[in-house]
Amino acid sequence: AARVNAELNGLDNCEFIAGDVLRVIDDIEDKPDFIVLDPPRDGINPKALLKIINYGVKELVYISCKPTSLARDLETLQEHGYFVTKACA
């Protein structure tokens, strides 16, 4: 869906990578402007979250369907310098 939407909106400078963060993040050659995270209901694997943090991307978009796992992951992200700029329900 993301690729189709990007094409419909004339965005040709996007790359979409789907998969287990623990496996795919090490294969990213160029540092992206931001990462969109859409983890399973239980949130991001703590090791994967640390890989994302260590990767040093400037901005994250976090999509969550479970407030408790979101809160846990946000706490870790905030401990490492990230902060929430917008939240929607």
Query: What is the share, in percent, of the chain residues with pLDDT greater than 70?
Result: 100
Q: Is 42 labelled as part of a ligand binding site?
A: no
**In-domain check, residue 47:** yes
**In-domain check, residue 68:** yes
Radius of gyration (Cα) for the chain, nearest Å?
Answer: 14
**In-domain check, residue 85:** no
Q: Tell me the H-state helices in the chain.
A: 2-8, 21-24, 46-55, 67-79
**In-domain check, residue 56:** yes
Q: Which residues pair with 46 in a beta bridge?
A: none
**In-domain check, residue 39:** yes
Annotated catalytic, 65? yes
**In-domain check, residue 22:** yes
Count: domains in the chain: 1
Q: What pLDDT is attached to residue 76?
A: 97
Catalytic annotation, pick one of 50, 61, 65, 84: 65
Residues 5-23 pLDDT 10s: 999 999 988 888 888 888 8
**In-domain check, residue 84:** no
Q: pTM for this one?
A: 0.80
